[in-house]
Structure 1
């Protein structure tokens, strides 16, 4: 009995420790953004909304926030479509090359971001396709980075999927597309939503690839925060981090609510 009760306690302790490791940096960023001092210090000298106001009135940070949001939104939409299609192909294909393709699609997760960013920049420059230091080139880089997260989550949902349900819908007169839309897509919908959340978060906070593909006129929020920390070291960067955290939390909550509504109303 003592051994059985000790196991759940150990799991609880490890879970709480892991949660603390994840939340403590967020807590530090929030307190640093509310610092009343002139420099980024922790613990803060006092609490104030001074640097929140500085962020909201900063054209550099607001522009970078908008660029990050737009790039994350576009790259997430593209990654969701490509990743879902790739996951369906990889799980249903009987070809020997499917395992090779799966490893190829997952390569951006294994490769260091610096290596991937440098490789993309060299490829853009040497091929002369005009994508170096451009918005489309940056979006392509973000799609390459975020697509594996969608593939991984959707593949996990499709592994245990019973294809006889889809075949039953087709036997009742549904077209292949209708059977996929009404049966398969509903079942893997939560996995697609989870992959979408991962893709958006990764894209919004992407730094390494963006560092090689961005320009001074095309700064994302992580790059703007890095520049501010390097040359000014004031709490405006931490205040920007507060809004980045808020956006991630909001997007996660909204997506989970939409998934729950679809389940409730059978949409």
Structure 2
């Protein structure tokens, strides 16, 4: 089990195994992630990245093995229980309420993080409104506060989805392809905004990414997946220079984007 950082371990995967019929989605996965790490997951379509994220967040149960959060076994918990324990996630396709405004979406997230929330009586007190505005500003979204989600550009939707995930102040934040569907010109500004917004939080960030330039710039550790196994685990330069990674993941020398499309 590799844990390159000196930070205390926040998340562990121990001996994870998962098969879908003859397809091996996870085999002998042993990972320890430190508090505050910025970890990227790379790999071709079907390599096991999304399976790993789904197991961590409780959407999928392993055939065997376990997930530990701060030393506690959370493998059998459902997604809501794991979220309450401090693991939050944004999705490749933003999970937003399209008829509502950006501000209303953030307010729903604040309301849902409380104990007395009801969709029939959303949190709309002055304190929550102020918190929602502050979160929008943190992600440079304040100009979009009163616009409906259905009118927002793709990059803005991505940021809003991540902002909603951060409302709970998670210990571990998983981002599923944060730059997919975003134009080349928007990718770096989007990631800069996200990382700046996260800079004041003591949060571990795990993100799936296919753009190797994004991986190199924004992660301090990279896990490369191939056929359900981790074939490399190190800093970005070492992993992207690995011959096996170049053969099975990037399809090119270090710094090139992966050939494969995003994992479904």
Q: Does the alignment reach a TM-score above 0.5? A: no
Query: Which has more strand, going by share of residues?
Result: 2
* Greater length-normalized contact order (CA 8 Å, ≥ 6 residues apart): 1
TM range (shorter): under 0.3
TM-score, reference length from structure 2 = 0.23
TM-score, reference length from structure 1 = 0.23
